[in-house]
Structure 1
Amino acid sequence: MALEAVQFHPMDYEAFDDNLVPIAQFLLRLRQFGIMDRRMVDAFEAIPRQPFQPLDAKRSPLFNERPQPIDCGQLDTPPLLAARIIEALAPTTRCRVLDVGTGTGYLAAVLSRLSRRVYTVDRFRTLVSAAQSRFEMLRIANITAVFGDGLDGWPEKGPFDRIVSSASAPAVPPAFVEALSTNGTLVMPIGPDEGIQTLTRFIRVDRQLVATPICPVRMVPLIKGRAARL
């Protein structure tokens, strides 16, 4: 598929008013999961969901709780799971965040409201380009997105106070440990490529990681290198 065929076009999402009722329902779901942090609620309210919804899924619920297919054969991170990730990440306005696996850019956009700066990397050039268009359309200025190998941890911009990976690995990649600041927090799924993984929070103490399991998930695996196509 040509790159131009999957570019994001802001005119496809001119009417954000339809977002009002779904966001209220979503915030109620957050409360049911015990997520009531005011800063997080404000961040989700501030970022419209529609621009980040796959074009072929516009008839699906805006806040679908199941992963939805996106370009490049990938899956998005459902908003409810994004909320659980952010709750575990606990970013502050002083934090520099590394987001591995840009996807549609929705997680990075919400994090941008809670952090000083977000750096997001994806192995698919198409996804990065489309996410950048969304960030520009929404006038989000504190996100830097790049096409690259997320497994490298973006050492030029490190260390990071928070790291989040939307893709899984059997163990924490060494580059993530090196990129994480002392007392920093990493959240990512740990487990086999196929089957159930455990979304886990890690806090770096000296050069060791202290792990806390959060919940079972099923997410795509981290893959080394940049994608040769797309």
Structure 2
Amino acid sequence: MMPALAEQEGFAAMVLRLRAEGVTSKGLLNAVEQTPRSVFAPPLYKREAMSSRMIPLECGSFMEGYDLSVRILNALNVKPGQRILEVGTGSGFTAAVMARIAERVLTIDRYRSLVAGAQRGLEELGIRNVIARQGDGSNGLIGEGTFDRILVTAAFDSLPRSYTDHLVSGGVLLLPIMVTEKECRMVRITRTGSRFEREDLFSAPYLPIVPQLAAYL
């Protein structure tokens, strides 16, 4: 873990950068501040955990830049008492932050080693309301019911119906969609009864989703 002072300075700098974009939620920022990001960063990159650059992880994955991860969480707008599904565990940082606010977080990833790394970080911070599981989330998650919020961190060519079926009325799905061959954007889907409202938000550097579990990693 980084020294506490460095974590505090990195957090304060991030807040200043994102304030101009309207990221001011006290609940979210308190949850972020309580979650040392360096816990989830690989050993070689702990000193860069508070930066806005992407950090490489195992299995060809990456940890979003600090600013982007908080911007995504702000767009998801997690509330107390909610059930959250995250498809693409990555480092485990976003699941940890969401768990500070929500009642329960289920996070899945096709790579066993990423799930194990996230679990170590969650255990180190004493976070108990996250279930981290190896799973194939490319077609939704059969048998887990519905969720108030769904966050997907791998890109699709078009909106997958399987995720919208998992949303409660009033629920929000946030996922990256390839809007051109080279541009990926975060898209927010809000369900109201049987209606779905789509908002295209901001560019994001996510990779295309890969179906099925990874055989070895």
Q: Do both proteins adopt the same fold according to a TM-score greater than 0.5, normalized to the shorter chain? A: yes
The answer (yes or no) to whether the contact 1:172–1:190 under 8 Å persists in 2 is yes
In structure 2, the CA distance between the partners of 1:229 and 1:207, relative to structure 1 (3 Å rule), is farther
| 1:102 aligned onto 2:83 | no
- Counterpart of 2:32 in structure 1: which amino acid? F
Q: CA deviation at 1:15?
A: 4.2
The answer (yes or no) to whether the contact 2:38–2:47 under 8 Å persists in 1 is no
2:135 pairs with 139, 144, 148, which one? 148
The 5-angstrom pairing of residues 169-208 of structure 1 reads 169-191=156-178, 195-208=182-195
Unmatched tracts of structure 2, length 5 or more: none
Unmatched tracts of structure 1, length 5 or more: 1-12
| 1:33 aligned onto 2:12 | no
2:185 is paired with a residue whose SS is strand
Count how many residue pairs are aligned between Structure 1 and Structure 2: 217
| 1:166 aligned onto 2:179 | no
2:63 pairs with 59, 76, 84, which one? 76
Separation of aligned partners in 2, 1:197 and 1:179:
23
- Counterpart of 2:50 in structure 1: which amino acid? F
- Counterpart of 2:15 in structure 1: which amino acid? L
Q: CA deviation at 1:34?
A: 1.8
2:176 is paired with a residue whose SS is strand
> Where does residue 42 of structure 2 map in the other structure?
54
- Counterpart of 1:38 in structure 2: which amino acid? K
Q: Which moved more, 1:71-80 or 1:92-101?
A: 71-80
Misfit runs of 4+, over 3 Å: 14-17
> Where does residue 86 of structure 1 map in the other structure?
73
> Where does residue 115 of structure 2 map in the other structure?
128
1:157 pairs with 128, 141, 144, which one? 144
Q: Structure 2-normalised TM-score?
A: 0.93
- Counterpart of 1:190 in structure 2: which amino acid? I
In structure 2, the CA distance between the partners of 1:14 and 1:49, relative to structure 1 (3 Å rule), is closer
Tell me the alpha carbon deviations over residues 120-169 of structure 1, each in whole angstroms, 9 at most, x when there is no partner. Answer: 00000000011011101100011011000012322322200100011110
Could you tell me the percent identity over the aligned residues? 33
Q: Structure 1-normalised TM-score?
A: 0.88
Separation of aligned partners in 2, 1:28 and 1:87:
15
